[in-house]
Amino acid sequence: MNMANLLKTVVTGCSCPLRSSLGSCKVTPGKKNFLRTFHTHQAQWCKAPAKPGIPYKQLTVGVPKEIFQNEKRVALSPAGVQALVKQGFSVVVESGAGEASKFSDDHYRAAGAQIQGAKEVLASDLVVKVRAPMVNPILGVHEADLLKTSGTLISFIYPAQNPDLLDKLSKRKTTVLAMDQVPRVTIAQGYDALSSMANIAGYKAVVLAANHFGRFFTGQITAAGKVPPAKILIVGGGVAGLASAGAAKSMGAIVRGFDTRAAALEQFKSLGAEPLEVDLKESGEGQGGYAKEMSKEFIEAEMKLFAQQCREVDILISTALIPGRSLP
């Protein structure tokens, strides 16, 4: 039996969590002695009674209407509601929550949800939102103050940028699952809503730019003459930036990309974009593959490069972002 199977057997056979004292156990040589020592401690761990869980049918999931200006998303679609209802959850949706996403109240009712007001929805055991709680101008109260005490909130939070909001949620003893903090690793890929939204935002940025641009993206040769292709500069080679580069290139534009990370520049190049660099050599690799804040000298060199490029390009799309910092 290998170590992975051994740990799986121990955890499966014991309903209470492993204590940190495992690291201090005295392990004697030999496979049999090791197993005997391990099972002895397992018996000690299981002395504490396991806390009973709450049945799904006793939990209410609330889906409030997003009140952030121009926000058209909704946290749960009728299909998502139907999946939760099948699991036994009670789901309440605020009236009009899905209108901007083309989901009517009748769609949610047909999926098994109840339609209620904002106060009733926010008082649910578990609240799912897109935007972080904010002041509701109609009710004249902060959404966080309407949350159930010791309830659960699943939403984009950006904790480093919203310390006051965290204080409010802490006073309500709210359990918060910040979707923007989900690590970009394979095991958490199904929960990575941030990357999904970034991909859509990058694509949509190009579509909106094309709509406002006065010419075609791709070059045209007509009887009246030639029309040159649009030139686009994309700053930031993350998920959104690469999505923008791919979309713009597929529409026939000349694409240039800039990032402080060498790996991101290579990804720009693989999409057919021209990678841009400054003369100053400095690595922009931060933790988890994200970019880090650069030196003053590097930023000055960046600004000179951008000033030069802005004289040449038709469209600039900025997707640059450092985790926990305001947008540049």
Rounded to an integer, the average pLDDT of 162-170 is 95
Angle at 282 between CA 278 and CA 283, to 5 degrees: 115
Q: Which residue has the higher pLDDT, 234 or 262?
A: 234
Contacts 24+ apart (CB under 8 A), 199-204: 199/239, 199/240, 199/243, 200/243, 201/240, 201/243, 201/319, 202/239, 202/240, 202/241, 202/242, 202/243, 202/244, 202/247, 202/317, 202/319, 203/243, 203/244, 203/246, 203/247
* pLDDT beyond 80 at 241: yes
Q: Which CATH superfamily is domain 197-318 in?
A: NAD(P)-binding Rossmann-like Domain (3.40.50.720)
pLDDT digits (tens, 9 = 90+) for 174-213: 999 999 988 878 888 888 898 899 999 999 999 999 999 9
pLDDT score at 320:
87
The CATH number that domain 56-181 falls under is: 3.40.50.720
Q: Please give the backbone phi and psi of residue 4, each rounded to the nearest 5 degrees, phi first.
A: -60, -45
Rounded to an integer, the average pLDDT of 220-241 is 92
Mean pLDDT of the chain: 85
Q: Which of 158-167, 168-177, 185-194, 260-269 has the lowest mean pLDDT?
A: 185-194
Strands 274-276 and 225-227: unpaired
Q: Which of 9-18, 41-50, 313-322 has the lowest mean pLDDT?
A: 9-18
Q: How far is CA 151 from CA 72, 128, 243, in A?
A: 25, 11, 36
Residue 90, CB half-sphere, CA atoms under 13 Å: how many? 12
Rounded to an integer, the average pLDDT of 218-225 is 88
Please report which confidence band the pLDDT of residue 328 belongs to, taking 50, 70 and 90 as the band edges: low
pLDDT score at 182:
87
Please report which confidence band the pLDDT of residue 27 belongs to, taking 50, 70 and 90 as the band edges: very low
pLDDT digits (tens, 9 = 90+) for 294-319: 888 988 999 999 999 999 999 999 99
Residue 236 zone, left/alpha/beta (φ > 0; ψ -120 to 50; rest): left
| HEC assignment per residue over 133-161 | CCEECCCCEEHHHHCCCCCEEEECCCHHH
Please report which confidence band the pLDDT of residue 49 belongs to, taking 50, 70 and 90 as the band edges: low
Q: Where are the beta strands (DSSP E) in the chain?
A: 60-63, 90-94, 114-116, 126-128, 135-136, 141-142, 152-155, 175-178, 220-222, 225-227, 231-235, 254-258, 274-276, 315-318
Catalytic (active-site) positions: 184, 189, 192, 195, 290
Quote the percentage of the chain above a pLDDT of 70: 83
pLDDT score at 36:
41
Asked if 145 and 119 touch (Cβ cutoff 8 Å), the reply is no
Does an H or E element contain 198, and which?
helix 193-212
pLDDT score at 46:
54
Q: Which of 109-118, 211-220, 292-301 has the lowest mean pLDDT?
A: 292-301
Q: Please tell me what DSSP assigns to residue 124.
A: S
- Which amino acid appears at position 293 of this protein? E
Residues of CATH 3.40.50.720 domain(s) within the chain? 56-181, 197-318
pLDDT score at 47:
57
pTM recorded for the entire structure:
0.74
